[in-house]
Structure 1
């Protein structure tokens, strides 16, 4: 009789893996799996808190305990580094976001047999899981879900609507895609919905970009203690805890730097707090984000120079970067191959690289290492709780 296999670790997509390489879905380290697939939960296997797990695609790891979640985040980052020969001189404990802390989400709304269904889609499917509870969203974001269900209860026919929710200083910012009220009565009903639910803003997008429908006062987000105009659909870190962890790392590592270039700067998540102690150049391709960051810097009188620039097509050149003490970059998931080559050639003393993709980060990090940069510290961040999505902050230092 064959002995059951022991699950030793979690793979990148969340499957449990045995020493022999067998992958088992919904398994945690310490579980035992029989030859026929029967799973015997071990000490790190816990009862998922949400009734929708594992059907809902929003979470993949609710069956794993806190120790396993933290280990998973750390190992994803560390393994990506080592795959490129990058060995950090210091590896920090992961910063983990708690339950019910996510302040932005993209949901789907559709007609489910005569009634609206609202939620995340199933993994690998377009089918919507009708959300009746959620353990990742902020409570005021989730509270809007049954209200939306009630509002669309009277809508007939086939429809597929996107709902983008984000927490702003003024409350919940809601954007609906693929929907527009038909006639005066529907328009008035939608205005009533926005007002009665205290929305900070409601925008509608029929495929030509978001159009303002309800915004009783200008919507803002606070970055580095300063209010910044929040364009519809603009990027913010998914949780406040992760934002503090990432900006805290940048502030610590760049302490004493007088001139900092912040690349892919967005609304100024890093540029604005860094400007408390340094002059900052913030470069960003999204025009709305550029205007928001510039407006906040001018209003607060802080030393942030904002440049509208597509860093993929027109990266800051090495000669432009040589006047800076440090560079911070937080690129999209694809990484920043063209820009990182210019940074590496510049010889700038410090590079803080924030990433939402350990694979592209490690590829770019290899370029820095080949130009004499050492990976001084690596800080994993588990921003998307119970998800296989992992973030990180890293410090590279140039050594002659």
Structure 2
């Protein structure tokens, strides 16, 4: 008996016509009775030597057509699970290779050896990184120098973490639980940062980040405005993915000129829109950074530092706006969606990194009288099972 892979499940396994889940299979692969896999038309040759061991990618073995289909299916399945009719789903954006501008790695030293990379799939074991087809070259170029630096700082048996972000001024690095004690270690960190043109280097031993090198204030440009970049601030994973989401949001809000941007973060959307904008953000550092950038750029953006989970904008506050942009964390925004459903806002641009919570909140809006017009899938985390999207809701 031979089974054919007909879809890719949420965690990346291929699913056969009979419902069997087969790891590392692609759409159209044929699974024979003896367990052998006959490659189908959508199987691709994985470019990275670390696949499938490395947990950074789950789907390098499928081509872009099948990967795009996976993004669409994940969203459609989530909506159907909530009893929501699937609207027009636009062609997905898939960010190109070597485009990721932020990443988090684990590191451990064993004697003179330092392992640095992503964790193995479903494991705490570190896959020692020697190539990467998702990370920006400017960041990957630091892997070997960081391995040498960590070998000196972690000692013969230690572990820690590395967070890297590509800012306007260059790489921004945070070393987590990596001891930098004494003058010699401090000078070694400073020499490393200077030699590799690091924009900022900070350490965090559990009490919060401590900046050790920052020749000039670090910024990230959003909507043409340089924004101060707080430690740990959220940033879209790729420039291309960010641009796709911004364009979708612009299309969703249309001609509206009195807008609210909820869960605004550093201003990815607020700084890219025209009109009078209320930007609401619960993170104090992000709110201050956005306010500073908006003032310097002379944008008409009013920043409100407010926890939208505990104190969402109510229907009266929302009804002042012609359009609302909402980009919540993975948990979604149930309370805020309930208030939006009672409001008279004409258009809602919804951005999400979790199809399941998006579908839950979409159901609330639809039951409140909104129509779900279209969805734009976005695959910023290329070859992973992570799915993002932008969508438009509207009411007459």
Shorter-chain TM-score category?
A: over 0.9
Deviations 1:283-339 (A, max 9, x none): 011000000000001111110000000000011111111110011100000000011
Deviates further, 87-96 or 298-307: 87-96
RMSD between aligned residues: 1.1
Matched, 1:217 2:229: no
Q: C-alpha displacement at 1:182, in angstroms?
A: 2.0
Q: How does 1:104-123 map to 2 (within 5 A)?
A: 104-123=102-121
Give the counterpart of 1:339 among 336, 341, 347. 336
Q: How does 1:228-377 map to 2 (within 5 A)?
A: 228-274=227-273, 277-377=274-374
Work out the CA distance in 1 between the residues paired with 2:374 and 2:187: 55
Q: C-alpha displacement at 1:149, in angstroms?
A: 1.0
Matched, 1:135 2:133: yes
Asked if the contact 2:163–2:173 (Cα under 8 Å) also holds between the matched residues in 1, the reply is yes
Asked if the contact 2:262–2:325 (Cα under 8 Å) also holds between the matched residues in 1, the reply is yes
What TM-score do you get using the length of structure 2 for normalisation?
Answer: 0.98
Asked if the contact 2:160–2:177 (Cα under 8 Å) also holds between the matched residues in 1, the reply is yes
1:135 is paired with a residue whose SS is coil
Size of the aligned set, in residue pairs, is 395
Q: C-alpha displacement at 1:114, in angstroms?
A: 3.2
Deviations 1:335-387 (A, max 9, x none): 00011101111121111110000000000000000011000111111110000
What residue ranges of structure 1 are gaps of 5+ in the alignment?
A: none
Quote the residue 2:41 is aligned against.
43
Asked if the contact 1:161–1:179 (Cα under 8 Å) also holds between the matched residues in 2, the reply is yes
What residue ranges of structure 2 are gaps of 5+ in the alignment?
A: none
Asked if the contact 1:86–1:375 (Cα under 8 Å) also holds between the matched residues in 2, the reply is no
Asked if the contact 1:103–1:137 (Cα under 8 Å) also holds between the matched residues in 2, the reply is yes
Asked if the contact 1:26–1:63 (Cα under 8 Å) also holds between the matched residues in 2, the reply is yes
Q: How does 1:138-153 map to 2 (within 5 A)?
A: 138-153=136-151
Quote the residue 1:161 is aligned against.
160
Quote the residue 1:25 is aligned against.
23
Work out the CA distance in 1 between the residues paired with 2:254 and 2:373: 15
Work out the CA distance in 2 between the residues paired with 1:163 and 1:42: 39
Asked if the contact 2:109–2:159 (Cα under 8 Å) also holds between the matched residues in 1, the reply is yes
What TM-score do you get using the length of structure 1 for normalisation?
Answer: 0.97
Matched, 1:387 2:384: yes
Deviations 1:211-270 (A, max 9, x none): 111000000000001100001111110001110000111112223112111000000000
